[in-house]
Structure 1
Amino acid sequence: MTEIRHYKIGEDRFKISEDEVARRELKVTKVADDVIQIQEEIHGIIALVGATSTVNIKKDELKELIKIVREEFGWTDIC
């Protein structure tokens, strides 16, 4: 069985109240030869409910994502 590796491409901390700071991590995982998964984990926010899922990607995180899918996942046709 192939080992699944997660690559962290971004990390932030931001203040959400007077005494609470949230932490955000953005990770990419190769699911299949032609499929990747982008995962955004936010820790510190209690309620997050809904049917829609979104991922916020900064410019430098997108550059890191492209680098990883080229070098680690072998996707040579990404530009």
Structure 2
Amino acid sequence: MEEPILLGKDKFKIGEGETAKRELRVVKVDENVIQVQEEVHGIIALVGASSSVNIKKEELKNLIKVAKEEFGWTDICE
């Protein structure tokens, strides 16, 4: 698998005096499959049967740009 491409990163306050760091990355898994990875550090997370990724508007724009330019997905819209 290729090295992930960074789409965005930020910090946010989760409590009094406690900040979490978040990074969003994308990696091409197959010709028709990409994987979006969200890493959050600074909080304890519970593991469940489902997962989700929070994506900002600018990160989505970056994801579309990477999919087109880096992965050759020219048939997707903006």
Give TM-score, length-normalised by structure 1: 0.91
Identity across the alignment (%): 65
Task: Select the residue among 69, 72, 79 that pairs with 2:67.
Answer: 69
Runs of 4+ in 1 over 4 A off after TM superposition: none
Shift of 1:48: 2.5
Q: For residue 78 of structure 1, what is the aligned residue in structure 2?
A: 76
Shift of 1:11: 0.6
Q: For residue 44 of structure 1, what is the aligned residue in structure 2?
A: 42
Shift of 1:47: 3.0
Give the Cα separation in 2 of the matches to 1:22 and 1:52: 21
For the aligned residue pairs, the C-alpha RMSD in angstroms reads: 1.1
Does the alignment pair 1:29 with 2:27? yes
Structure 1 unaligned spans of 5+: none
* Residues 33-66 of structure 1 deviation map (CA, whole Å, 9 limit, x = unaligned): 1100000000001132321100011110000000
* Residues 11-36 of structure 1 deviation map (CA, whole Å, 9 limit, x = unaligned): 11001111210000000000011100
